[in-house]
Amino acid sequence: MPRRRIGFWYRLAAVIAKPPLVVLFKRDWRGMEHMPADGGFITAVNHNSYLDPLSYAHYQYNTGRVPRFLAKAGLFKRGFVGTMLRNTGQIPVYRETTNALDAFRAAVDAIERGECVAFYPEGTLTRDPEMWPMAGKTGAARVALLTKVPVIPVAQWGANLAMPPYAKENKFRLFPRKTLIVQAGPPVDLSRFDGLEPTPEVLREATEVIMAAITALLEEVRGEKAPAEPYDHRKARLEQRRRAAEEGSK
């Protein structure tokens, strides 16, 4: 199946976004050889900064296989940003609405047309205190098991040093000049799930395999060992509420 043409709007986005990225940051790009030359595929990427979609998109654009991102539906209504998202073929995600399945269908359709669809399996910026990937959501695994296309894990680091997530002060830290590291790995082996029904348990296990591959790449990038158990934001919130209730009852 032929690859998708980059097209006018994606090239325009690159003309706008690439020059400041090249000027403000150094680049360390690794593993481009793992990106399929043709046919549909999924990339699964960690998320640690509002800036990292630009960093990753720059990397992916230069492989010749442009990504289609899943992004919050509200962004598609915001002026110039919305115009670019719509015209570059990004996929709106409608959370907790009757349109919630539209993103899933659009991702499958894009992959079947031979495109690359990029997932941030964590679903949001990592809340892990040390910036490791959190426990993932099952969307990427669901699409992967249905389409049976390669899932390429991608780890990135550096954008978070320039724009830390949730920082209230000194949000931009551009100097000294940061290095944006993006590393792709070989396809995740999901063969153990072939022929299985996509039950919640199967999807959860497949998601854990994908997240483990991303985390292993990030360990290589950072030269550090990740925690044995990924941070689970839902469990952490429940624990905070439990402690607050205990404190309130004293």
Percent of the chain at pLDDT > 90 equals 66
The length of the chain in residues reads 250
In-domain check, residue 38:
yes
- How much is the pLDDT for 96? 65
User: Which CATH number covers residue 101?
Assistant: 3.40.1130.10
Instruction: Please give the pLDDT value at position 234.
Output: 81
User: Would you state the pLDDT for residue 94?
Assistant: 80
Is residue 41 within 8 A of residue 68, CB to CB? The reply is no
Q: Is the pLDDT of residue 97 over 70?
A: no
- On whether residue 172 sits in a domain, the answer given is yes
CA distance 184 to 29: 9
Confidence check: pLDDT of 168 > 60: yes
pTM higher than 0.95: no
Give per-residue pLDDT as tens, 182-232: 999 999 999 999 999 999 999 999 999 999 999 999 999 999 999 999 999
Give 128's pLDDT tier (boundaries 50, 70, 90): very high
CA–centroid distance for 187 within its chain: 15
> How far, in Å, CA of 85 to CA of 156, rounded?
22
Q: What is the pLDDT of residue 238?
A: 78
For residues 140-161, average pLDDT = 97
Q: Is 26 a domain residue?
A: yes
Report if residue 136 sits inside a domain. yes
Q: Assess if residue 211 is contained within a domain.
A: yes
How far apart are alpha carbons 112 and 13 in whole angstroms?
24
What pLDDT was estimated at residue 250? 59
Q: Tell me whether residue 1 is in a domain.
A: no
Domain count, the chain: 1
Residues of the domain holding 96: 7-248
The answer to whether residues 131 and 219 touch, using CB atoms and an 8 Å cutoff, is: no
Q: What is the pLDDT of residue 142?
A: 96
Residue 171 placed within a domain: yes
Distance CA 22, CA 140 (A): 30
Q: Does a structural domain hold residue 142?
A: yes
Q: How many CB atoms lie within 10 A of CB 216?
A: 14
